[in-house]
Structure 1
């Protein structure tokens, strides 16, 4: 039973807006199913081709629902078709939970570079290889052709673009001295070039939080337990609201001076998401993956892969 106290916190206007949004999602889901049925009944093609059309349509339909501004990774509408054929499943991952390469290497801020160095340490990269990698990345990005101590600039078969930023995470593999990292399975999983930059405390996992200076494992465990609420899952309704960064200071076990040292390195609620929508029909499976910014009524797709 919902308490009167809780009901008073929801204004009529906000309640109406939520109902309209939820209704729109339900209508969209229903329209997808009707459309799939219509295609199956009216299009005369081979069974395999029809399954391919339906699988692609379901993948795009899951994406359309995920792109709605009020859809979160735990929105029920994303799970309605998981047990149907044709059907779809959608996975949403915050880009803010990852390390933004362009943010970490911008301006040669030692605090940011140290986060990247600690991440390399966590992946078993030795000290000398790590320092060469950082210098080579800086030489790859900077505007000059002056070689750093352990770096590498323009040569016969090596030409850094010197544009100041990475266009993709995959570009890191083109940088000299990065082989020890880029040869590892899953090396790209923690990296992005699309987030707002700082680490999102509402989304980052323990491996990323551990890279912040002064934050210990015990504090991280307690913080994540609190952040995930009673069900132990991020992004659900029982998660405690985090309205300002100072709210998490105590949970991270930091005093005011230590917390102030994290200024500019952390943030709340990055609106950039990686959305993977997988659709199927029979044995045919199709997937579409996008990175989108969902901070407004008009979400912006910044990367699309199908």
Structure 2
């Protein structure tokens, strides 16, 4: 969505006459906003071209290779294709989701393809921003499954291993942290004791349910080379699966569906559909016509 917004902001800022080479403008807009880009192909269908001044675009197709949008986040392949787009120029605001929805005269929808390699995934997982988000998710998972806030772990390191047949391997290094009410006692009785560290090795399969959610199945794992119980593993799998339900986005006017998820030893490939509703009407999945994804 961020790449599409970059392109749209560049195109829709040009509300002047015809004769505009929209494809070139879109390419320049992307290159000016990302850190690096190995290859791109963009096509903007808009005949006559002056429709852009009315906030109308027939179709936008974007294909990139080797796209780096953050210092530690590289995307091997990113392809996007939209249906017709129509904005209210007077209300144009692409700075937030709410602003985007207020600007739309009709739902914005399209399909996308994302490919990530194992190297790129692990590099992204070391970024402070992503580690902070994962730490928050880990804290919530521990509280929900342990039923107590007296257990806390710091996420030190996370690595993933892509495997065949939609399987993932995950290795986590955690450090046990004292909670607030434990700190006084720990300072008195174990001031110089080393922090307890745990190494978790997990393996599981990922499957898509009706395009709406991702389920973690067949979990296996160990802690410091000792096998984990099936109860803990199943609780972990359920806790992660509960947070991978795309229908939760619909309260914010976003309908998203997974059309294809494929993991092998070389890459993770995800093909999906998304629709951003206008602000006024309620989102109804029954009225959605999913665009056929075409490789650019």
- With a CA cutoff of 8 Å and minimum separation of 6, indicate the structure with the bigger relative contact order: 1
TM-score (norm 2): 0.25
Greater helix fraction, Structure 1 or Structure 2:
1
Greater strand fraction, Structure 1 or Structure 2:
2
